[in-house]
A and B are shown apart, each in its own frame.
Chain A
Amino acid sequence: KAGVTQTPRYLIKTRGQQVTLSCSPISGHRSVSWYQQTPGQGLQFLFEYFSETQRNKGNFPGRFSGRQFSNSRSEMNVSTLELGDSALYLCASSLVMSRWDSPLHFGNGTRLTVT
């Protein structure tokens, strides 16, 4: 069974641009969650999607958005990029919504550099 796939692996963008990252979950998994990892803040929860609906959202500005498609694939978008958005963006999938009985499976991440 293929794991969680994130594309692209690396991305370099300029301040003010926007970026779209993609996450394909493990086949059969319906929940996709997104995380930002920086050296200063560590891992932080961005949002979680289940059945094409955003169920949870972390404390990030509205420039960060996402969506989930009917095949459970998910995209996240960051508009008007800032230098501080440089980070490793990770997605994780689980069979059902991230709960105590639903293990997470992480992708290898997309490393975004904003110059």
Chain B
Amino acid sequence: KNEVEQSPQNLTAQEGEFITINCSYSVGISALHWLQQHPGGGIVSLFMLSSGKKKHGRLIATINIQEKHSSLHITASHPRDSAVYICAAHPMYSGGGADGLTFGKGTHLIIQP
């Protein structure tokens, strides 16, 4: 069974700071998702990656398959980045019918002006 751990659980930072959220998982995966959830519940998929690094605006996601670790970075953070960030690991397809995502508990990020 895949275990997905996120750190930190809570993070408060000042506007403009560089933010790093970490995610580690215990078994081989085919892809890892980074999700953003604002109050009210809606979830937005930020990144889906299986290797290397992806960048979108001020957000950067990296993954190290050998170390079973991924990071989400936010550069020049802004109060509108305040949200819960969740990583989710997609297992290697086994054909066993239980290949759904396993989620981390989320990181509550607050960016203060």
Contacts and interface: CB of A to CB of B under 8 A. Distances in A.
A42 B103 contact: yes
Contacts of B111: none
B: interface residue count bin = 20 to 34
B98 A58 contact: yes
A90 interface: yes
Interface string A32-44: 0101010000111
Given A90-B41, A99-B93, A111-B41, A56 B103 contact: no
B31 A56 contact: no
A: interface residue count bin = 20 to 34
A66 interface: no
A98 B100 contact: yes
Nearest to B4: A42
24 contacts: A33-B100, A33-B101, A35-B101, A43-B88, A43-B101, A43-B103, A45-B100, A46-B100, A55-B99, A56-B100, A57-B97, A57-B100, A58-B98, A58-B100, A59-B98, A88-B41, A98-B99, A99-B30, A100-B50, A101-B31, A104-B45, A106-B42, A106-B45, A108-B41
